[in-house]
Structure 1
């Protein structure tokens, strides 16, 4: 959803292809070979705001550049669920019994559990559809596709072993047999 939204809707990030690469294609690797999402995506989940290049927050605007695109509310609601899910995952790594969490944390567990099915996400999308036409007025596609002229990512590349503090490209995961960190690859890039 975010991949297509930043391509076709007006927003505050001027370097769209750089953002797409950083957010969707980069990953981090630990010494034991475990891979996880980019720092940009990790920060989005932890802070409920998508930041790029340390100073620019991704905010969708109306096609006029004015604030007020309702898709921002949807993204914030989704990030709230993801944040809860990752907090629970971290607690489970350090604490065997989730039932021993303090009361405030049990609310986080309940929030995270909403992602166990598709119901919460379907409700969020349904709520967005119910906003009415006037809320979505002037939030249509921009005149030009934001990634026009961008070079497509290569389909296969050997995964390079890099310093742990430097993110690596996710497309290398295609040759490793391990799950990819990015779902961006479609039939059009295959």
Structure 2
């Protein structure tokens, strides 16, 4: 129960700008699945091998680029982790067993990918258009800024932490002919990889 409360507290901090307007988020998610639910379901049934192969390749490439950039950053005096990442690392390392990890897994690998991809990919590109350069910029920067948790956050560290993933999510969304299943699954795999690395080595500096 304690970890459920901690995850809830972190989620409330993350979604603070939308806390009073939570129903808008629900409506956007509903709209996304109303528009693409059948496409997502059919693609998961018929193209699941292709989806996981492509998202797997994207995950590998993103991880290598991300680790290389963070390795370069390690030679500077900038903090290697964004504040939200630090908090998540603490939650994961303090979790006791699978039941302690369960709220973190559900929140970061199921709920967050669905909500964030509906908000920062589907909604933006649906409203502003898929051929509008501003859609790409807005999708990119809103995702990064949404993870700016507290005052004192170093923007360069935050930018490095999330920019590679953001580009990956946008790119695979476009490459998949705007099938929302791809960025959701890739997003989920990125977070699963993050949890796995923390469990293996909490002090690993390159994530």
Same fold (TM over 0.5): no
More helix by share: 2
